[in-house]
Amino acid sequence: MRIGATTRLGVLLGDPVAHSLSPALQNAAFAAAGLDAVYVALRVDAAGLPGLLRGLAAAGVFGNITVPHKEAAAVLLDRGSDAVAATGACNTFWVEGGRLCGDNTDVVGVRAAAEALLGTLRGARALVLGAGGSARAAVWALVQAGAEVTVRGRRPERAAALAAHFGACGVAVRLASGALRGAHFDLVVNATPLGLGPEDPWPLDPEREGVVVGAALDLVYGVDETRWVRALRARGVPAHDGLEVLLHQGAAAFERWWGRPAPLEAMRAALPPR
């Protein structure tokens, strides 16, 4: 990779970002497509996000937003996509005609990964764990595909805000109140950060909580699969981590930035094997 005065810059903004595989994914895509561009990760806290995002946009930088800034980024846009409006969250940004534009390609990624597990999502009973920007994308992806969605947030007020947001859009989202014992879900999606740390508790323990889980999708990923995914699979539950979500949301972001198909196989080859 040669970097010169004409090289375009792409960035990932979040906190933390040290674990992210997005630089490897996007730099592989840029190389395969013959683009003069480089992609790096920048850690930024909540207070620093508005100034940094606006400053980068003024310089023509494009990129992605990750936890915990997806909801905050959505309100900074000059123009957001339908997915941003539906979810109230943004994970992809670029500059067009001097205006800061954004999309939520997590919606594409979650749907692709969930369909890889279940096939059709129509009529599926899904439980989304979490109530932040990633959870909003997961809810919208599942609802759009015809699933019935229940949400359980670690902070009840955020879960209530999520349900109210979708309710205002005419989308009914159930809130899990109290224990889930005896419930049966075709798919459980972990949209919390639990699993980023090696000592993190599981986002859901089906046996302890008495929940039947048909399949599980963990949006957390790393070089290795999360402990939760490995444990569920050992119990016979089909489970994937977030690499497939990362791949497809990254490909959709590439297409927003460059207006051309993403080199999907080159991007897949840049990720750890599964």
Number of domains comprising the chain:
2
Residue 90 and residue 148 in one domain: no
Q: For residue 134, what pLDDT is reported?
A: 96
Task: Give a yes or no: residue 2 inside a domain.
Answer: no
**Angle between the N-to-C axes of helices 156-168 and 133-144, in degrees from 0 to 180, rounded to the nearest 10:** 40
Q: What is the pLDDT of residues 53-65, one digit of tens each?
A: 999 999 999 999 9
Residue 179 and residue 198 in one domain: yes
Q: For residue 178, what pLDDT is reported?
A: 79
Name the strand (E) or helix (H) holding 134: helix 133-144
| CA angle at 128 for the pair 126 and 129, rounded to the nearest 5° | 145
Residue 83 and residue 133 in one domain: no
Provide the β-strand partners of residue 27. Answer: none
Mean model confidence pLDDT for the chain: 96
Report pTM.
Answer: 0.95
Q: Is the pLDDT of residue 240 over 80?
A: yes
Q: For residue 143, what pLDDT is reported?
A: 97
Residue 261 and residue 152 in one domain: no
Residue 15 and residue 78 in one domain: yes
Domain that holds residue 250: 8-104+244-269
Q: What is the pLDDT of residues 126-177, one digit of tens each?
A: 999 999 999 999 999 999 999 999 999 989 899 999 999 999 989 999 999 7
Q: Output Rg (C-alpha) for the chain, integer angstroms.
A: 18
Task: Give a yes or no: residue 1 inside a domain.
Answer: no
Q: Is the pLDDT of residue 249 over 80?
A: yes
Q: What is the pLDDT of residues 206-234, one digit of tens each?
A: 999 999 999 999 999 999 999 999 999 99
Residues annotated as catalytic are: 70
**Residue 98 to residues 12, 257, 258, 270, Cα–Cα distance (Å):** 20, 14, 16, 32
